[in-house]
């Protein structure tokens, strides 16, 4: 019975890592829709969020069932509680990718991002992608050291967002109010994606050490 229990626990972690990959793809595709003004890709990201939500709910149900039936303690309990919190992080990252796709769709057939700022948005998306990938490996390997290193990538994301805001607020800005609002929102979306990746990493630290972030 206990062997089956640990198999179920491991399967939940595996599915959590798989879901992280799905979220990573959604973020990448929403960025492609944004920078290439591709309506079909934007619609696919928006429609695909349902799959992320359903996968989240399935993993959550299995985790709650183990909590209710096995009454885990110590590390196993931390594993399940951390998993439930990380599912929330992943679901919100999926929602943020939808927000990016909706900005892209709203400005069709034009790009929501002026050509001059494509490199900045692309850089933010690249950092977000790296952070999600790192979070996935941290969860899979329970790598506390890598979790600490992820904070440096978060600093880079914050730097890029400040750079984006400086461009929007510059007196030489010539693209109007609505594009400026879109870009301010996009900067926030990517920053929040990074924040959730960091949150996942901190939950792994809690899982391994029993210290740090739980809520």
Q: What contacts 82, CB < 8 A, 6 or more positions away?
A: 203, 204, 206, 207, 214
Whether 9 is covered by a domain: the verdict is yes
Using DSSP, state whether 171 is helix, strand or coil. Answer: coil
Residues 153, 200 contacting (CB under 8 angstroms): no
pTM: 0.93
CA distance 160 to 156: 6
Q: What contacts 185, CB < 8 A, 6 or more positions away?
A: 99, 103
Model pLDDT for residues 147-202, shown as the tens digit of each residue: 888 988 999 999 999 999 999 999 889 999 999 999 999 999 999 999 999 999 99
Q: What was the pLDDT predicted at 1?
A: 56
**Which residues span the domain enclosing 124?**
2-209
Counting residues of the chain whose pLDDT is more than 90, the rounded percentage is 81
Using DSSP, state whether 197 is helix, strand or coil. Answer: helix
Whether 215 is covered by a domain: the verdict is no
Whether 160 is covered by a domain: the verdict is yes
Whether 181 is covered by a domain: the verdict is yes
Model pLDDT for residues 12-46, shown as the tens digit of each residue: 999 999 999 999 999 999 999 999 999 999 999 99
Whether 214 is covered by a domain: the verdict is no
Q: What was the pLDDT predicted at 215?
A: 56
- The tally of domains found in the chain comes to 1
CA distance 103 to 183: 9
Average pLDDT over residues 72-87: 91
List helix spans (H) across the chain.
Answer: 2-36, 39-70, 74-106, 118-141, 144-169, 177-209
- What are the tokens at 209? 């050490």
Q: Which residue has the tokens 């400026």?
A: 180
Q: For position 14, which CATH number holds?
A: 1.20.58.220
Whether 41 is covered by a domain: the verdict is yes
Of 45 and 145, the structure prediction assigns the larger pLDDT to 45
Whether 142 is covered by a domain: the verdict is yes
Q: In degrees rounded to 5, what are phi and psi of residue 124?
A: -65, -40
Q: In degrees rounded to 5, what are phi and psi of residue 179?
A: -60, -35
């Amino acid at each position: 019975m206990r062997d089956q229990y640990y198999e179920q626990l491991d399967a939940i972690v595996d599915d959590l890592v798989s879901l992280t990959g799905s979220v990573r793809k959604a973020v990448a595709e929403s960025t492609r829709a944004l920078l290439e003004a591709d309506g079909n890709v934007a619609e696919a990201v928006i429609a695909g969020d349902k799959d992320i939500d359903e996968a989240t709910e399935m993993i959550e149900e299995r985790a709650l069932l183990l909590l209710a039936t096995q009454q885990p303690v110590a590390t196993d309990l931390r594993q399940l509680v951390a998993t439930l919190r990380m599912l929330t992080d992943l679901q919100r990252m999926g929602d943020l990718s939808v927000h990016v796709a909706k900005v892209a769709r709203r400005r069709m057939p034009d790009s929501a991002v002026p050509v001059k700022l494509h490199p900045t948005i692309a850089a933010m998306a690249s950092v977000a992608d790296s952070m999600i990938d790192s979070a996935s490996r941290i969860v899979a390997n329970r790598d506390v050291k890598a979790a600490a290193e992820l904070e440096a990538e978060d600093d880079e994301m914050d730097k890029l967002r400040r750079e984006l805001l400086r461009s929007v607020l510059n007196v030489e800005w010539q693209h109007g109010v609505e594009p400026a609002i879109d870009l301010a929102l996009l900067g926030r979306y990517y920053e929040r994606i990074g924040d959730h990746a960091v949150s996942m990493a901190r939950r792994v630290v809690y899982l391994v050490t029993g210290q740090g972030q739980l809520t």
